[in-house]
Structure 1
Amino acid sequence: MAKGEMMYKGKFKYIIFIITTSLFWFSLYAYVPIFPGYIEDLGVSHGMVGIIIGSYGFSQMIIRIPLGIISDRLNKRKLFILLGIISSFLSGLGLWLFSSALSMLFFRALAGIAAASWVAFSVLFSSYYRSDEATKATGYIMAANNFGQVLAMLAGGSAAEIFGARSSFLLAAAAAVLAFISGMLISENKEITRKPLSFAELASVGKSGNLIIVSVLAILSQFVVFATVYGFTPIVAESLGASSAQLGLLSTLSILPGIPAGALSGSYFSNKFGEKKTLFAGFIIAAFSCIAIPFAKSFSVLVITQVIGGFGKGVTLPLLMGLSIKNVEENKRGSAMGFFQAIYGLGMFTGPVAVGFISDIASLNAGFYFTAFICFIAAFTVKLFVKDLS
């Protein structure tokens, strides 16, 4: 009986963490499909739409490294997980209560602060596994992450369709409440022997030429994703007559292909074609999907462009993440990954901001063409500077 209870408690530890992770990401993404159009409908410029959307990446970029260092030094991850969930709750609730441009800027930035707690999630969950099972732990928690996002966008779009756009903010807050309840049951692991990161170490590993190139490519990759999928593609869909439920479907179908693409990029594609050709192809596919957006004259055609583009975009970031620590000394991998993850937040911010201002100055179509240009720059950067490391 005692053995059976131990097995149950062991399984419960993993299950409750997976549930908490899915609910957490659900709370951050429930309103994402309708958010750009919701902001635009309040009468603000595309430039302001971009700043509000980009604030999510900006706050992550600023907070992520300090949060990781503090949680390592205190050797407490559950505390920061719960604080992240509380931040997500306040973000959703604030967006539901207030609808001025400045309030949306503040509360979306607060969602970025919540997302920065992801480092605590990943470190704590990985500690439940042996060191040689790190990839298994990453696979499970990323699956929970993706499941939460996909379910959130489908549910959020449907809720907005039935109850109005603002209901998706309330749905996000409700998911955060559930995440907090399950998060209280998470098991802290006091035996983590992870050496705390330091700014000096990050600066040291940041001098690596390979890491700089890979990080720049990650910035460009996130630039494209946040300028299109989480930025201005939903506004194009609305102009084609898409409903809120269809916006949720569009966002879901934009990221779903990235799940198998990411899994295949670091294994099958890189083994068969090499990392260099795989990355190059991913950016080229993404470029043509951006070019195709202005030519989509129906919602169904727009969906096709995003499914294809989603596969291309899905190939790049997971492969770049792997390359950021490949051939890096074991004791410096944490620093390399910390540097990489902090840097690519710049793309999450600059993508929607740049396209927003280009849209105000020229047109939204010009913004998508510029995003395609960024993809081509990334592809030729790969061609010139990336070497296969297999």
Structure 2
Amino acid sequence: MALFGLVIIIFWFSLYVYVPILPSYVTHLGGSLKMVGLVVGSYGLVQMVLRIPLGLVSDGLGRRRWFIVLGMVLTLISGLLMGLWPSVASMLVGRAMAGAAAATWVAFTVLFSSYFPSQDASKAMGLAMFYTNLGQILATYIGGYLAELLGWQVPFIMGAVCGLAGLLLSLRLQETRQVKREPRQISQLLAVIGQKDLLIVSGLAVLVQYMTFATMYGFTPIYAERLGAAASELSLLTFWSTLPMALGSLASSWGIAARFGTKRTIVLGFILGALAAAAVPFSRTLQQLYITQAVGSLGRGVILPVLMGMSIQAVEDEKRATAMGFFQAVYSLGMFGGPIAAGIIGDVSGLTGGFLSTGAVGLLGSWLALRLLPEGKARAGQVQRQVEMGGR
């Protein structure tokens, strides 16, 4: 478990160490706001395309570890590409390749959740997301300082080096050997992805990722630059955008939804994210901007692990990678569409319009959660009682 946690931390560190400077670097290389949105969004587009096929193949083979190894190889290559050959085109191709690496997160989550009882799926995802956010916190805090002290290309090289380290460690992960299965038929795939609960939580996750990638991984760093932020201060910005998210994920692993209610937790998280996004263009100092990012990050950090756990909680073990692949492929729409939509709106009406529209997306998510999600407190409470009775 400790080794797996370290691999997760290194994986996301390698993918995010250059993220604080990526939008600004693209503009420095001559890219427009629309191009910034395309570079950032390419990361989600590739995931949207690859995650379902990866889930199907993983379920068919009954293996997860080698997909994790593949993900590490891709992080190594993408970091080298962007670090050694800097251009707008290499940023686009390299970040898309990083998206292919991130698509293997399907295998990470399914293998990690296999270490827990099925009723603890949300807690497993909360812990996995905590490791994820910890890796992103360390990466984004360090990345800006590396760029300011040693040059813009150094964070990309650092990502490649960490990808190599993660590759070596991932070869030591333990996996229970499973029987190889026949390829899943279309009817079986439709039976998995056609489940109403899976469709609802996947749709809500789209809106969570829209908010995340349109703000903290998209245009908030550009707004911070207009307030006078240097590269090191962009790292602080991303730090305050990820630390509360990590704490929110940790709270999910402790069963906050079981105590507060799944529906209430998700609705409140969306409201916090919406208010934070809408407040960005009214921030007049970096300190005010840090506060908006911390509030929004906390809200989103609580939501996503709960939705991830709900996506596989009622799914048989042999179909979990398919369900998780579908869930992650669908939420990649938000990772892709959020930055591109906000970039188009930003080119037309300025950054203020992009942030306000993102706030509206958050309010839409809270309304949909309120309307579509069942009251989850009873079910969550039942799960919690099972745990307390020795279910783990």
Instruction: Find the residue that maps to 1:256 and give its secondary structure.
Output: helix
* Structure-1 separation of matches of 2:26 and 2:126: 35
> Cα offset for 1:342?
1.6
* Structure-2 separation of matches of 1:32 and 1:231: 9
Tell me which of 90, 96, 105 is aligned to 2:77.
90
* Partner in structure 1 of residue 327 of structure 2: 340
Cα 1:363–1:147 change in 2 (3 A) is same
* Partner in structure 2 of residue 382 of structure 1: 369
Tell me which of 336, 360, 382 is aligned to 1:373.
360
Is the 8 Å Cα contact of residues 14 and 162 (structure 2) preserved in structure 1?
yes
Letter in 1 for 2:228: G
Is the 8 Å Cα contact of residues 21 and 148 (structure 1) preserved in structure 2?
yes
Deviates more, 1:230-239 or 1:68-77: 68-77
Deviates more, 1:173-182 or 1:83-92: 173-182
* Structure-1 separation of matches of 2:317 and 2:162: 37
Is the 8 Å Cα contact of residues 202 and 339 (structure 1) preserved in structure 2?
no
Q: TM-score, normalised by structure 1?
A: 0.88
Say yes or no: does 1:80 pair with 2:70.
Answer: no
Say yes or no: does 1:150 pair with 2:103.
Answer: no
Deviates more, 1:138-147 or 1:111-120: 138-147
Instruction: Find the residue that maps to 1:147 and give its secondary structure.
Output: helix
> Cα offset for 1:40?
1.3
* Partner in structure 1 of residue 283 of structure 2: 296
* Partner in structure 2 of residue 4 of structure 1: none
Tell me which of 226, 237, 240 is aligned to 1:253.
240
Report how many residues are paired.
Answer: 377
* Partner in structure 2 of residue 233 of structure 1: 220
Instruction: Find the residue that maps to 1:186 and give its secondary structure.
Output: coil
> Cα offset for 1:144?
3.0
* Structure-1 separation of matches of 2:257 and 2:115: 29
Say yes or no: does 1:51 pair with 2:38.
Answer: yes
> Cα offset for 1:295?
0.7
Cα 1:138–1:280 change in 2 (3 A) is closer
Cα 1:333–1:188 change in 2 (3 A) is closer
* Structure-2 separation of matches of 1:49 and 1:135: 34
Cα 1:387–1:88 change in 2 (3 A) is same
Letter in 1 for 2:92: L
Is the 8 Å Cα contact of residues 127 and 189 (structure 1) preserved in structure 2?
no
Cα 1:20–1:270 change in 2 (3 A) is closer
Percent identity at matched positions? Answer: 44
* Structure-1 separation of matches of 2:321 and 2:154: 39
Letter in 2 for 1:114: A
Cα 1:166–1:198 change in 2 (3 A) is farther
* Structure-2 separation of matches of 1:216 and 1:131: 23
Letter in 2 for 1:306: Q
Structure 1: unaligned runs, 5 residues or longer: 1-13
* Partner in structure 1 of residue 94 of structure 2: 107
Is the 8 Å Cα contact of residues 95 and 103 (structure 1) preserved in structure 2?
yes
> Cα offset for 1:116?
1.2
Tell me which of 3, 11, 19 is aligned to 1:32.
19
* Structure-1 separation of matches of 2:179 and 2:130: 23
* Structure-1 separation of matches of 2:51 and 2:238: 25
> Cα offset for 1:192?
6.4
Say yes or no: does 1:63 pair with 2:50.
Answer: yes
* Partner in structure 2 of residue 360 of structure 1: 347
Is the 8 Å Cα contact of residues 124 and 189 (structure 1) preserved in structure 2?
no
Residue pairs, 1:154-303, within 5 angstroms: 154-191=141-178, 199-265=186-252, 269-303=256-290
* Structure-1 separation of matches of 2:63 and 2:182: 13
* Partner in structure 2 of residue 11 of structure 1: none
Cα 1:278–1:133 change in 2 (3 A) is closer
Letter in 1 for 2:14: S
> Cα offset for 1:335?
4.0
* Structure-1 separation of matches of 2:264 and 2:121: 27
Deviates more, 1:371-380 or 1:181-190: 181-190
**How far does the alpha carbon of each residue in 1:78-111 deviate from its partner, in whole angstroms, 9 at most, with x for none?**
3322221111111111011223222211110000
Is the 8 Å Cα contact of residues 47 and 332 (structure 2) preserved in structure 1?
yes
Say yes or no: does 1:314 pair with 2:301.
Answer: yes
> Cα offset for 1:378?
1.2
Is the 8 Å Cα contact of residues 197 and 335 (structure 1) preserved in structure 2?
no
Cα 1:192–1:175 change in 2 (3 A) is farther
Instruction: Find the residue that maps to 1:257 and give its secondary structure.
Output: helix
* Partner in structure 2 of residue 7 of structure 1: none
> Cα offset for 1:243?
1.8
Cα 1:272–1:38 change in 2 (3 A) is same
Instruction: Find the residue that maps to 1:366 and give its secondary structure.
Output: helix
Is the 8 Å Cα contact of residues 18 and 155 (structure 2) preserved in structure 1?
yes
* Structure-2 separation of matches of 1:284 and 1:33: 25
Letter in 2 for 1:238: E
* Partner in structure 1 of residue 336 of structure 2: 349
Letter in 2 for 1:162: L
* Structure-1 separation of matches of 2:120 and 2:271: 34
